[in-house]
Structure formats: C-alpha cells, structure tokens
Structure 1
C-alpha cells in the first residue's frame, strides 16, 4: 500500500493570529492600510499594529492633560476667590471675599410699596462668614447712596436698643445680618430705588480690611399675597 502523507496542521483563522511586534510587511503587491495611529495589512484585518512612538505620544498627552486640569480650573475660578479681595453679584445678591471674611447674598429688604423713595431707610440683609482663627470686627459701612448707617446687635447686649458702630464676626462662625440677628439699616437713601437695582456699599473690617460689593434691592418673597390677576385656581 502506498504510504499516506502526514496531515498538515490547520492554520488558525487570521483574526486569531496574535499580532507581531512589528507591522506586517506588504509582499507581492499586498496593500497596507494606514490610519492616524494604526497600520493594518488587508490579509490580517483583525491584527492592527500601533507604533510604540504613537503610544508614547498618546500617553504623554493624556498625562499632560490631567496635570493641566487643576491649573485650568483654578484660573477659571480666579475671578471669585483667588484674589486678595473680590466682589461679584448674582440673582440672589452681592457677594465678596476678603481674606478670611466672606460675604454672601447682600440685599436690602423688599420695599413696602415696591420701591424706595429718596429719604427712605433700607434694612440690610447679608451673611458674613469668618473662616479665620481669630475674631474680626466690622467697623464701618459706607456708600454714596445713603447718608448714614445704624447697627443694633442684640447678641452683644440683649437689652441694647441704641445703635452701635461695630459688629463682631466670630472666628470660624457666621453672622446673618437682618435675619434674626444683628440689624443694620441704611439711613436716608439719596435716590429712588426699585427691585433689581443695586447700591455700592463698602464694608471695613478691623483685620481683613475693606471691600466694596453690590447690594441688590430686594425682590418680593414667594409667600406674599397674590393679586387677582395671578389667581389661576379660581374659587374652590
């Protein structure tokens, strides 16, 4: 009997062949497809090859982006807290940062008749936080839109009814002016003011220094009674 030929081992499909360390070379007119980061021989479409140099570039770019992210975020926020003293305003009221002193939602109370006329007094509403290790003292409040300021601090003296000239901001604490705490009144407004407009008010602190911030004229509270034109429910 004729000798049987040994059976050849079956070749694995092209997609199962492990890619070589270097890109397959094109022989016999074979085509190699090139992309931005990979080279693929049409004979082995599943076995793409990426250049080690490209890998290094991609890794370097990724690490660089991660390292730069905090810098970019810090620069974006520099307008609010990165400087020694900054001031800004939003829909809730004026705000400012001065060292360890932080002022938020600075407004006046909503005027009784919908506007302040020249000569009226306006109650100041503002939250003051002291993030420092020592107490600071608000020693002066000034501005061009009013004649003077009255400060009454019942916490310093529970029976106090006469105005004082100072307001202590405790270390690591908050003071909510006009919200059940100290009362500050801007006396003798010099011009008519309507909700949404603002006064430029300068506050001076014993340790932190002084900062000027916008104080918005207050808008009506949500729980004020509505007129008939806003009653969409009808009679019940």
Structure 2
C-alpha cells in the first residue's frame, strides 16, 4: 500500500493540547471537502506533486526524526485508501503518540478500536462560513472522549452562536477538549474572548494558530 504524501516535516504543534511541542507532520494529498477558508487548498489539487510512501516508509521517516508527537493531516487523512494499515502499524510503536486532524465528515468510529493505542482525533466541526456544515457526520460528536478534541473554526458571530449550540446539545465541554479557532484575519480574537466571557463558556479554549505568528502565515513545511 502506498500513500500520496505532499509534505513531511518536523516543527512545533501550532494548535491543540500540545501547542508549542515538537511534532512530526505527515500531510496527505486530497480532501473530500472544499472549505472557504482552507489554508492548504494546494494539497487538494488534482495535479499536486506527491511522494509515494508505504506505511513502512512513513514509519521509518517518523522514527528518523526522534520526535514522539506525530500529526497526520492533509488534505483528509481518513480519506486515504488503506489508511488503517498505516494507523495499525503506528499504534504498535509505543515510542510515538499519533494525532489525526480530520475534517469531521468521515466516521471515526471504525478507528476507535485500533490497539494497543488508538490515535487521538482533532475533529473539526465545519460551521456556516466554511460552506461545508451539511457534510458533517454528526455521530462523530457522540464518539469523542477526553483523549480527543473538537475544533470549531469561527469566522463570524453566527459561527460562534452555532458552535455554542452544538457544544451544548452534545455536552462536548464535559466529555472532550473543545477549541475555538478564529479564521486567520477574519475575526478579532478579543471578540471571541468577550463572547466566551458573556456566555460563561467554561470548558472551551481559544486557540490561535501559533505557527502563523512565528512564520509567515502562508509558509509551508512549518
């Protein structure tokens, strides 16, 4: 089995529970969604240049970096044909901790029984400004645990209102990590903080894309 890998690099986690920690990234080509604010559209183009890598190739590259945090991203990792083979191989390596960034449209339940250590999921819930909310697999919100996270990328107050409704309906703040992530340059983080304060949003974290503050916001491989 070979996978189409458009980037592999070591950097720091720019988002989530391990923000600021070293991580090795594997970015796959192709996505089944097309979000209005996507900052990796280039990775989804049909003619994007990709390296063919087997599960063994990817695992050996990860090991060569000496970094324990692994982030599989895209594109959409769970949309890769044969991805279970790679995930099972990585799960058997006790020296690494695997996180999957997934767009929320693909059922994560089949991957929850991977052993001996399943990956964690950072699950997007696409809101109105993305143009993709109708594609969300809502059942995913019943599967997440404290090991996982749900991320709401917000570009407007309508987005934040909708995210609040979803958080409350599925009690996400009680069973998983929840993040608000502003669309870069579209909404002032101060406004999100004020909203969180006025609505008593305990259990929700504001996150900024750290890598976009360290490097140029369009820079790849970071």
TM-score (ref. length: structure 1): 0.21
- Bigger Cα Rg: 1
Q: Between Structure 1 and Structure 2, which shows a larger proportion of strand residues?
A: 1
TM-score (ref. length: structure 2): 0.22
